[in-house]
Structure formats: structure tokens, C-alpha cells
């Protein structure tokens, strides 16, 4: 009789465990199925175009319910669009000043602002260049007639480029040679096509090109100030999802991708 009771108890216990397992599986399945689609509108500096395409793809692969809609342009242009009410959830700027402006206007979530990346500016020339440009000093030569640079008013790379020229005390001497561009990628395109003699871009931009090469780095005094801050926009429609994506940008997985594209993680 005791054996029968023991057997009955064991069967009851096994049945209870199976029911619990089915219930748990059902909860998990329901949770995944009922996850609502989310769209994250990302405004990112033009110099981040290639790397963020890969970062975004990885994140969406890991989070199938999330769709990231990126917009790439100069940081100054994106700043103005945000000020005008463009639907943006996260802003990734290539310069602190654009983020400062938005923060001063109370358009970002202050606690969400974090510095993510560092970069450097460099001089690049077309691979077939025969002008013998090897340093910033060579920009003063008569053989150099056109220098592409981002518009310092809107393009952080252009502002850093201007600061480099001022550091070498040559900005006024080469100002008539400057070809102002709408963003750093336009500078790169002009150099690649041979429409200008030389350009000032980020080192990360030079890395993605097969038709230009670096001839000089910008001064350390300027390069040490280059930082890419990230922040949530105050009118963000999906703050929880945006915050999770921002956290991912600081993850080891994303960091490896940024470093592959030549960026340096802040603090490294």
C-alpha cells in the first residue's frame, strides 16, 4: 500500500512539473509574440555612416522587433533639424558644440548624454597626386590651389580643420584656396574624384577609401579635443527603446565594430 501511495505521489509530482514547464514555455512564447514593433529614429554625423550601418544591422538582428531609421548629415545640419522639430530619438554628434547647443535649449535628456568616440583629422590626397604634399606646410605652396574642408559653421571636421590651420598660423594664407563642403563625406568625394588637390577629413573617412591616402595628421592639440557625444532627444517617442539602444552603443560588441572602423572609444 505504501508503494502505491509513493508511486502515485511521484506521478503527481511529474505531472505538476510538466504542467509548469508547459506554462513557462507558453509565457515565453507569448512574450516574444506580443513584443510590439518599435522604430528608433537615429540622427548621426556623416562620418558615422559606414560604421553605424553595421552597428544598426547587428542590433536589429538581435532585436527583431526594433527598426532603426538612420539619418546622416553634418552635425550642424542635424542639430538644426532637431531644433525645428524633426522626429529624432537619438543624436550622435561629431562635435560637442552641436550637442551643447541642444542641451542649452533643453532639447536633450541631460542624464542620457555620454561621450562615446574619439577621432583624428588628417590631410588626404588622391592616390595619383604628383604635387608632393607631405605636410600642412605644403599647403602654402603655389602648386596647391584647392583644399576641400567641411564648412566650419556646420561641420565639426571642418571646424577642427580650421583650428589645425590656425594652429599652424596659415589659415589666412590658405583661405582663398578653401572649398567649403556640406559634410566630411563630400570632402572625401571631392578628393577621390580629383576635383581638389587635398582635403581635411577624419582618419576614419580615409580608411574607407581605396583612392586616397593620408599624408599628414592634424596637430595633437586639435585631435585631442575631438569627441563624439550621444544623447536622447527630449521629445523622443520611444524613450525606453532608445535608452536600450544607447546602452548597446557602449557595449563590447559595438565597441569592437567602432574600433574596426578606426574610431577610438572614449577612455581607451
Go through the domains of the chain in sequence order and give each one's CATH number: 38-118+227-265 (3.40.190.10), 121-223 (3.40.190.10)
**What are the backbone dihedrals phi and psi of residue 54, each rounded to the nearest 5 degrees, phi first?**
-75, -45
pLDDT digits (tens, 9 = 90+) for 66-124: 999 999 999 999 999 999 999 999 999 999 999 999 999 999 999 999 999 999 999 99
> How many Å apart are CA 63 and CA 82, to the nearest integer?
26
pLDDT digits (tens, 9 = 90+) for 206-222: 999 999 999 999 999 99
Predicted pLDDT of residue 30: 31
Under a CB-based contact definition with an 8 Å cutoff, are residues 204 and 119 in contact? Answer: yes
**What are the backbone dihedrals phi and psi of residue 231, each rounded to the nearest 5 degrees, phi first?**
-160, 155
Tell me if residue 106 falls in helix, strand or coil.
coil
Give the residue, 150 or 30, on which the prediction is more confident. Answer: 150
> How many Å apart are CA 150 and CA 201, to the nearest integer?
8
Under a CB-based contact definition with an 8 Å cutoff, are residues 212 and 206 in contact? Answer: yes
DSSP tag of 233:
B
Under a CB-based contact definition with an 8 Å cutoff, are residues 52 and 260 in contact? Answer: no
Q: Cα angle at 91 between 56 and 112, to 5 degrees?
A: 100
Under a CB-based contact definition with an 8 Å cutoff, are residues 55 and 165 in contact? Answer: no
pLDDT digits (tens, 9 = 90+) for 169-209: 999 999 999 999 999 999 999 999 999 999 999 999 999 99
Amino acid at each position: 500500500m505504501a508503494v502505491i501511495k509513493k508511486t502515485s505521489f511521484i506521478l503527481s509530482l511529474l505531472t505538476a512539473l510538466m504542467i509548469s514547464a508547459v506554462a513557462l514555455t507558453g509565457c515565453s512564447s507569448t512574450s516574444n509574440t506580443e513584443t510590439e514593433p518599435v522604430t528608433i529614429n537615429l540622427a548621426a554625423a556623416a562620418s558615422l555612416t559606414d560604421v553605424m550601418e553595421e552597428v544598426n544591422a547587428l542590433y536589429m538582428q538581435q532585436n527583431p522587433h526594433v527598426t532603426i531609421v538612420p539619418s546622416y548629415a553634418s552635425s550642424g545640419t542635424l542639430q538644426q533639424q532637431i531644433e525645428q522639430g524633426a522626429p529624432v530619438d537619438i543624436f550622435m554628434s561629431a562635435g560637442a558644440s552641436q550637442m551643447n547647443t541642444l542641451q542649452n535649449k533643453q532639447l536633450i535628456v541631460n542624464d542620457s548624454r555620454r561621450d562615446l568616440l574619439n577621432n583624428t583629422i588628417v590631410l588626404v590626397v588622391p592616390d595619383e597626386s604628383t604635387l608632393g604634399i607631405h605636410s600642412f606646410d605644403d599647403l602654402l605652396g603655389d602648386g596647391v590651389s584647392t583644399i576641400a574642408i567641411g564648412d566650419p559653421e556646420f561641420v565639426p571636421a571642418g571646424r577642427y580643420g580650421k583650428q589645425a590651420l590656425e594652429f599652424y598660423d596659415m589659415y589666412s594664407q590658405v583661405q582663398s584656396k578653401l572649398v567649403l563642403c556640406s559634410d566630411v563625406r563630400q570632402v572625401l568625394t571631392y578628393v577621390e574624384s580629383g576635383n581638389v588637390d587635398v582635403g581635411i577629413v577624419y582618419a576614419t573617412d580615409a580608411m574607407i577609401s581605396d583612392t586616397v591616402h593620408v599624408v599628414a595628421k592634424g596637430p595633437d592639440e586639435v585631435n585631442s579635443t575631438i569627441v563624439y557625444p550621444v544623447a536622447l532627444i527630449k521629445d523622443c517617442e520611444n524613450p525606453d527603446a532608445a535608452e536600450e539602444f544607447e546602452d548597446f552603443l557602449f557595449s563590447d560588441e559595438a565597441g569592437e565594430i567602432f574600433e574596426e572602423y578606426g574610431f577610438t572609444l572614449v577612455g581607451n
